[in-house]
Every structure is written in C-alpha cells, then in structure tokens.
Amino acid sequence: MLSGGYMVRAVSDSGPIIHLAEVNCFHLLQLQIAEVVIPAAIYNEVTRYNRPGSKELKESGIAVIELSEEEKVLAKRLCSTYGIEVGEAEGISLCISRGYDLFFTDDADARDVGELYSIEVHGTAGIIAKAFRSGSLSYEKTKQVMLELHKKSSLYMTLRVYKIVMEMIEEQTREYGE
C-alpha cells in the first residue's frame, strides 16, 4: 500500500505467514500491502518445522533481519516483562528500534504489547481486508478467503471477529462498489 508516496514498512510474526499460506494467500504479504521483513527468530520458527508457509517464505525474498545487540536486549526485556514469545518480541523490537510502520501478528498479547509502544498492529484478517481495499482481492475472493480463514485454517478467529471483518468489507463494497 502506498501512502504519501512511500511504501509502508512492516514486520511480520509467524502467525500471518502460516495462516495466509493455509488459505493460499501468502502472496498478499507482498502485494501492495507493505514492504515486509521478518526477524530471524520468525524465519526459523516457520521453516525449521516445515510449517505452512515454509516453502513460500523460503522462496519469497522477504528480508530476514538479524537483530543488533541492543535490539536483542530489548527483545529479551519484552519477553520477560510481558511474557510474549521470542519471535514476537524480536518483531516488536525491530518496529521500535527501526521505525517500522506496522506489526503483523495474530497473537493477542503481542498485539497488546505492540499497541503499548504505539505500533499499528494488524492480524491476518486485517491483511486480507487491506488487500481487498487495495484491489488485490475481489469482493468474492475476499469472502471466500475470510470463510476459509475462519473455518479451515489454524487461526483461532471467533465468529464475532469474522462477522466484524465481513461487515467492514460489506460496508466498503456498498460505499465504493467493487
């Protein structure tokens, strides 16, 4: 997504990588959404155990960032203070220290920590909604992907959240047409 003439920069946690791959939409991480990078811990988390998205991630060209010593210290502090996992903490640390615009995660605790540090946080459903708004997904494809995400993927999405996202998409379709 272009905003003010520059590409929005984002750091992704493993959840969106895995969940987008499960619904055959990994490509949305790279289509007009943002310039995405991941910390090394996330790359290892996804690829080490051949999780969904492993192959796509290896072939994607998404930059894998090694943290500086100061960033590692901050990540460890975030882990111990807030009880979040290493990959999530490394992602938030990168956002804080390098000024990334967005953090993609489906973890509620990581979302809360990111927001404490004034980082804009979006989950997989938010990425799909952004892809729809940017024109990367048609209305029908967005409905299909959201249903698959809710019913078939490993993402825990409540019916309430599913309905909220679908209402936003429906509203935008009524306002702007498809």
CATH code for the domain of 127: 3.40.50.1010
* Model pTM score: 0.89
Structure confidence at residue 33 (pLDDT): 62
Q: For residue 45, what are the domain limits?
A: 1-178
DSSP annotation of 136: S
Residue 168 pLDDT > 90: no
Angle at 171 between CA 170 and CA 172, to 5 degrees: 95
Give the SS3 label for residue 102: strand
pLDDT digits (tens, 9 = 90+) for 81-136: 999 999 999 999 999 999 998 999 999 999 999 999 999 999 999 899 888 888 88
Start-end of H helices in the chain: 14-22, 40-47, 54-60, 69-82, 86-98, 108-116, 124-134, 139-151, 159-176
Q: Which residue, 113, 141, 151, is CA-closest to 19?
A: 151
Residue 177 pLDDT > 90: no
Supply 156's token pair: 């825990």
Residue 64 · residue 75 · CB < 8 Å = no
Structure confidence at residue 2 (pLDDT): 35
Supply 39's token pair: 């910390």
Q: Which residue, 134, 84, 137, is CA-closest to 113?
A: 84
Structure confidence at residue 1 (pLDDT): 37
Lowest mean pLDDT among 16-20, 48-52, 82-86, 169-173: 169-173
Number of domains in the chain: 1
**How many whole angstroms from its chain centre is CA 89?**
14
Q: Which residues have a Cβ under 8 Å from the Cβ of 1 and sit 6 or more positions away?
A: 7, 8, 32, 33, 34, 130, 134
